[in-house]
Structure 1
Amino acid sequence: MGLTEDTSPAAVVRRQYLASAAGDLAALRETLAPDVEWTEMAGFPLAGTYRTPEGVTSGVMEKLAQDWENWTAHDDTYVVDGEDVVVLARYTATHRVTGNPLNVRVAHHFTVRGGLIVRFEQFADTALVRDAATS
């Protein structure tokens, strides 16, 4: 992280979305604390809690890229309360096997401390994701 980079919670979260959208997993890992806890919602294809920056990118981002074309999390609205950042967002993608498009609203809750994301929890309409992957 550069000395002039904004380490406010919202700025750190925004860098994570930009890195994800660009497919820059190294830059994404730089936003995550070494002991990060990243939880994908029950019912989501990658449900579970991932730890370490490498665990998050290999267990979540790389797998999404394998199964979905152009997977993007669009960060629309930020609600910030101290170290907590809730982002109202949207996932768009096309499933590589079914060819079905995905466009689903989601909410993400981040906790940022010391300029790094220490916790993430996903809230999503998992039925829409499942339907796009299986129908």
Structure 2
Amino acid sequence: MTEFAVSPADVVRRQYLASATGDLEALRATLAPDVEWTEMAGFPLGGTYRTPEGVTSNVMEELAKEWDNWVAHDDTYVPDGENVVVLARYTAVNKATGKPIDVRVAHHFVVRGGLIVRFEQFVDTAKVRDAMTHDA
């Protein structure tokens, strides 16, 4: 029986499913050992993280500390070879302020050999920061 190659979009979809269910082990399994994961400058976790463990501990675990019900809703996939752009939105409630967010986001993934090797986030960071700020 021939094993079918998994498409880059399928790898990315597995990453979103793992994230949505909080399964960090499954999420790490979608990431290459030398992954470069970049959260946008101005985002609370802005910077580039490397290694699957580095990504989950510095991004997903940190988001869980500051936000309730953080979910990336992946609604449109634009695959182009090893590149997959996903148009999505984040929803969550900030634990410190009680303010919700519902913000559009674009993610660019590069998938090689069935693993995510690069990720870059594009998001309206002002809306995220507004939800983290207490009203005067």
- State the TM-score, normalized to the length of structure 2: 0.95
Query: Percent sequence identity over matched residues?
Result: 77
Whose radius of gyration is greater, 1 or 2?
A: 2
> Take 2:122 and 2:51, find their aligned partners in 1: how far apart are those partners?
21
> Take 2:84 and 2:3, find their aligned partners in 1: how far apart are those partners?
21
Corresponding position of 1:65: 64
**Unmatched tracts of structure 1, length 5 or more:** none
Corresponding position of 1:93: 92
Distance verdict in 2 for CA 1:98–1:36, change over 3 Å = same
1:4 Cα shift? 6.0
Residues 43-58 of structure 1 mapped to structure 2, 5 A cutoff: 43-58=42-57
Indicate if the aligned counterparts of 1:6 and 1:12 stay in contact, CA closer than 8 A.
Answer: no
> Take 2:6 and 2:78, find their aligned partners in 1: how far apart are those partners?
16
Corresponding position of 2:39: 40
Corresponding position of 2:118: 119
After superposition, give the CA deviation of every residue in 1:79-111 in whole Å (9 maximum; x if it has no partner). 000000000000000000000001000000000
SS of the counterpart of 1:134?
A: coil
SS of the counterpart of 1:7?
A: coil
Report how many residues are paired.
Answer: 133
Q: CA RMSD in A?
A: 1.3
1:6 Cα shift? 5.5
- State the TM-score, normalized to the length of structure 1: 0.96
**Unmatched tracts of structure 2, length 5 or more:** none
> Take 1:128 and 1:5, find their aligned partners in 2: how far apart are those partners?
41
1:5 Cα shift? 7.7
> Take 1:31 and 1:5, find their aligned partners in 2: how far apart are those partners?
17
Residues 19-30 of structure 1 mapped to structure 2, 5 A cutoff: 19-30=18-29
Indicate if the aligned counterparts of 1:36 and 1:51 stay in contact, CA closer than 8 A.
Answer: yes
